[in-house]
Structure 1
Amino acid sequence: MRLKRFKTLWGHNGSLTDAVKQVKAADFDGIEAPVPNTPEEAEAFGRTLTENGLLWIQEVCTAGSYVPRRDASISDHLNDFEARLKLAETTGLVPEFVNVMGGCDAWPIEDSVRFFTEAQNIADRLNTPVSFETHRGRSFFSPWNTIAILDKVPHIDVTCDFSHWAVVCERLPHIEWESILRTAQQARHIHSRVGYDQGPQVPHPAAPEYAEALASHQACWEAVWQSQAERGLDYTSMTPEFGTDGYLHLLPFTQAPVADLWSVNRWIGEEELAHFDRWHSAAVKTSKIA
């Protein structure tokens, strides 16, 4: 099993050409991003990735942006989901899979189960692999909601962004270990952002004052890798996803960022490649995984 790494375009202020240069310089495998806004931009996006030999994870949010419209019905979410999956055709690319921020945190469990069941049916009909993200504001906003839903839809894939759970639960994610292990059983992808008990993003994961938070997330990521190896996956994937929009810490009055966003994402990408290699070597020796 190998690790594929993807650059998020969330918080990227330069051109697509700039992003491609960063991806290749960091030896990442591709880009995670939504379909661009116009057909012309989408076609250019697909052509650029193809010419540079890069993979693509499509990003989809149902019924709104990262936080859904509160008045949106299950049907609204499903219709939006299907329409956004079909948009991928405008790029001329076939995504590795689609990362989905879906559902609503305020729904009863049975409504979320209906949404994920029908969404997976849509994805199967369109022959499009999808993975549903653990995310605040969405059905998988907490470990307890997630487990209750996954027990009823054991056939769907999950993108694990445990930084959201850190702030929702106000404790580091490894403390909810049973929930981590259960979610790992259906995990496909990781968003490698490090949260802490009062926020979804530490100022810099290399800072010694956040070593405990980093170690907590790394333990959870290892649980995902172990499950994936036991399930026989050929590769695991990860998107370093430190971002802007209230996530990146800013100095008061000047609003100057405390760290360079791409430097942080590149650092965690390099750190996790080395971490994965260490974990994989040890796992091969002890359990003969591939």
Structure 2
Amino acid sequence: MKLLMLRSVWSGSSDLDELIEQTLQGGFDGLEGPIPNEIEHRHKLRQKLAEHQLVYIAEATTGVNPDTPEDWWIPQRDRTIQDHLNDLRWTVEHAIDMGAMFVSTMCGYDAWSWQQNVDFFGQALELEQTSGVTISFETHRSRSLFNPWITRDLLAQFPEMKLTCDFSHWCVVCERLLDSEWAILEQCAQRAMHIHCRVGYAQHAQVPDPRAPEYTAALAAHERWWDLIWKAQRQRGFSQVTMNPEFLWDGYMQTLPFTKMPIADVWDVTCWMAERQRRQFMQSGFGEAALINKKLS
């Protein structure tokens, strides 16, 4: 297998040229983020991706109010199932033109009933089938897949359902590391399309710095879970796999009181994690990954 390492657009500059330059300097294989609403911005992004031979995963965030200045990514209570589907459909319809590998989506709502979830995912999977665009559903707080048990049940209900596995969210939702739910992790590995390799712990979805000794156990646990996914992907015949060290600033990176100074550098952590996982992938015998000559400390 070949490992493609992508970075999140949310961890870099809003200026596309600066974002692309940083991505290339960091040795990443591509970008993951939303498709721009404006046609000219879509054209420029597609041009830059092609020019630098970068891959792209399109991100769909459903049921939100993008005009909300803070917490815009949180699903709104008044958004209907059809609203969520419409948001997802827009990204799916533009994904082919953007040359996206697939669509990864934060979708649904943690307050939905079982029947609402069944209705939504049933129609979302119909959209996947009719469009021909692969959709990968992210395990994420505030969303339908916000904990291991609802995810387990929806995977049983929909055998064709694929996952973007971000287990950092489950750590804080469940207030513990997840080895006790190994059977569910195995189920997720069998459906995993994509990995977000951020490290969470019992009190937060992002450790300040995974290099710190106090987070050794959390890092080791997540690497066990990612290794489980890679094994399942190899058994399923994947020729290439994707991963995103999605360490983020706003709200994810802890800050000092009063000054709001971040206690670690997100981009430094992102690059360190990307390089560590490239090495983990190769040393575990899964295949090839481009290594950047940076010291892992």
TM-score range, shorter chain: over 0.9
Q: After TM superposition, give the deviation of residue 214 of structure 1 in Å.
A: 0.3
After TM superposition, which residue ranges in structure 1, 4 or more long, deviate above 6 angstroms?
A: none
Contact 2:95 2:133 survives alignment (8 Å): no
Q: After TM superposition, give the deviation of residue 15 of structure 1 in Å.
A: 2.1
Contact 1:35 1:87 survives alignment (8 Å): yes
What are the equivalent positions in structure 2 for 1:248-287 lying under 5 Å apart? 248-280=253-285
Q: After TM superposition, give the deviation of residue 88 of structure 1 in Å.
A: 3.4
Tell whether 2:81 aligns with 1:69. no
Name the SS for the 1:45 alignment partner. helix
Give, as a single letter, the amino acid of the residue that structure 2 aligns with 1:38: E
Match of 1:153 in 2: 158
Tell whether 2:91 aligns with 1:87. no
What are the equivalent positions in structure 2 for 1:190-269 lying under 5 Å apart? 190-269=195-274
Tell whether 2:82 aligns with 1:98. no
Give, as a single letter, the amino acid of the residue that structure 2 aligns with 1:75: Q
Structure 2: unaligned runs, 5 residues or longer: 65-71, 288-297
Question: Structure 1 residues 3, 281: CA separation in 2 closer, same or farther (over 3 Å shift)?
Answer: closer
- Rounded to whole Å, the distance in 2 between the matches of 1:189 and 1:11 is 18
Match of 1:31 in 2: 31
- Rounded to whole Å, the distance in 1 between the matches of 2:19 and 2:221 is 30
Contact 2:208 2:263 survives alignment (8 Å): yes
Name the SS for the 1:280 alignment partner. coil
Contact 1:174 1:217 survives alignment (8 Å): no
Q: After TM superposition, give the deviation of residue 19 of structure 1 in Å.
A: 2.0
Tell whether 2:18 aligns with 1:18. yes
Q: After TM superposition, give the deviation of residue 281 of structure 1 in Å.
A: 5.5
Alignment RMSD, CA only? 1.5
Give, as a single letter, the amino acid of the residue that structure 2 aligns with 1:81: L
Give, as a single letter, the amino acid of the residue that structure 2 aligns with 1:207: A
Report Cα offsets for 1:192-228 as digits up to 9, x if no partner.
1000000000000111110100001000001111111
Match of 1:59 in 2: 59
- Rounded to whole Å, the distance in 1 between the matches of 2:123 and 2:234 is 28
Match of 1:286 in 2: none
- Rounded to whole Å, the distance in 2 between the matches of 1:269 and 1:173 is 22
Number of matched residues?
280
Contact 2:5 2:244 survives alignment (8 Å): yes
Match of 2:122 in 1: 117
- Rounded to whole Å, the distance in 1 between the matches of 2:281 and 2:122 is 32
Q: After TM superposition, give the deviation of residue 37 of structure 1 in Å.
A: 3.1
Give, as a single letter, the amino acid of the residue that structure 1 aligns with 2:48: T
Match of 2:49 in 1: 49
- Rounded to whole Å, the distance in 2 between the matches of 1:281 and 1:142 is 28
Q: After TM superposition, give the deviation of residue 188 of structure 1 in Å.
A: 0.6
Tell whether 2:194 aligns with 1:189. yes
Give, as a single letter, the amino acid of the residue that structure 2 aligns with 1:138: R
How much identity, in percent, do the aligned residues show?
A: 41
Deviates more, 1:18-27 or 1:270-279: 18-27
Give, as a single letter, the amino acid of the residue that structure 2 aligns with 1:58: A
Deviates more, 1:122-131 or 1:53-62: 122-131
Q: After TM superposition, give the deviation of residue 50 of structure 1 in Å.
A: 0.7
Report Cα offsets for 1:242-263 as digits up to 9, x if no partner.
1122110111111111111111
Report Cα offsets for 1:25-58 as digits up to 9, x if no partner.
2221100010123111111111111111111000
Deviates more, 1:269-278 or 1:122-131: 122-131
Deviates more, 1:13-22 or 1:228-237: 13-22
Contact 1:46 1:93 survives alignment (8 Å): yes
Tell whether 2:177 aligns with 1:172. yes
